[in-house]
Amino acid sequence: WVDLVHPDDRGRALKVAADVTAGRPVRNLRIRCVNRAGKVVVTQWSLRWSPEERLSFAVARDVTALEEQERALRESEARMRNTVGSALDCIVVMSADGRILDFNPAAERTFGYRREEVLGKDLGELLVPERLRDAHREGVANNLRGGRGRLIGQRVEMPALRADGSEILVELTVTRPAGVEPPVFTGFLRDVTEAHRARALEAGQRRILAGIASRQPLAESLEAITRLAEQQFPGSLSSVLLLDEAGEHLFTGAAPSLPREYSLAIHGAAIGPRAGSCGTAAWRGETVVVPDIATDPLWEDYRALAEQH
């Protein structure tokens, strides 16, 4: 029997033969053999030893084609893993019950989670903002009931949640491969937060310049500028303070989001070397950045007022 085995596999075949004669049946042994025509074929064996007859009984079949199919499948899967791993877009695979099945490196970078942290976790809880979770789950359920679902095959922009709790805007396409049971959904996502912000900035600048060109009142132009700044940096408050004609006192040009009491209190304040951020900037004639008004000495005379608001 060993003479039928390819020379490179004979050592393993001899060990198997020893296992069989010792009474240990061997199943699904896959080794290469050489047929009469000298062609190498892959064979799969099951062997059993009969101590009474001192014979081994074997069943073998030619699995050369199967081996080639399995090799091709392994290569295909390796190529797919490499493609998914090197993709610039996020690829997230979700099961029918909402659990994350795959999470590529781009998704790790975008959302701030490691792959091993999210596998098996509920996608809605991790990546979907709370206000949108019911709609997310209803969309999945509708698709499983036979409906199309709003996102399947469509390209949409929607908010997504990062590990640090911040939101980003993503462009999203979801596919559901046909014939896969149980069903899975694959999401292809791209962070478009900066692109969206840049488009909004450009559009805002055009509106402001158009207003200036049409000679709208200065207060309206300044308010548009402050609102655009706040739009670019969510959660921020913006204001513009102007100098009077003498160049000695500040007055409010625009502060749409600041408390009115605060704006009134600093209206007419004198500039100087320790006159808060804007008053000091006007005094020095250069940019002044204050990281923390609660501790910076430039705000010493205005700290109580600022902390009230």
What would the 3-class secondary structure string for 105-118 be? HHHHHHHCCCHHHH
- Percentage of the chain beyond pLDDT 70 is 94
- For the chain, the maximum distance between any two Cα atoms, rounded to a whole number of angstroms, is 118
What average pLDDT score do residues 10-30 get?
84
In contact, 115 and 126? CB cutoff 8 Å: no
Q: pLDDT for 55-107, tens place per residue? A: 888 888 999 888 888 887 777 766 666 656 666 789 999 998 889 999 999 99
What average pLDDT score do residues 244-251 get?
94
Mean confidence (pLDDT) of the chain: 88
- At 191, give phi and psi (nearest 5°): -75, 115
In 3-state terms, what secondary structure has residue 134?
helix
Which contacts qualify for 227-234: CB closer than 8 Å, 24 or more apart? 227/256, 228/201, 228/204, 230/257, 231/200, 231/204, 232/197, 232/200, 232/201
Q: Which residues contact 212 (CB under 8 A, 6 or more apart)?
A: 221
Name the residue with higher pLDDT: 216 or 71. Answer: 216
Element (H, E) at 233: none
**pLDDT score of 20 more than 90:** no
Per-residue pLDDT, 269: 93
- Flag whether the pTM goes above 0.85: no
Per-residue pLDDT, 57: 84
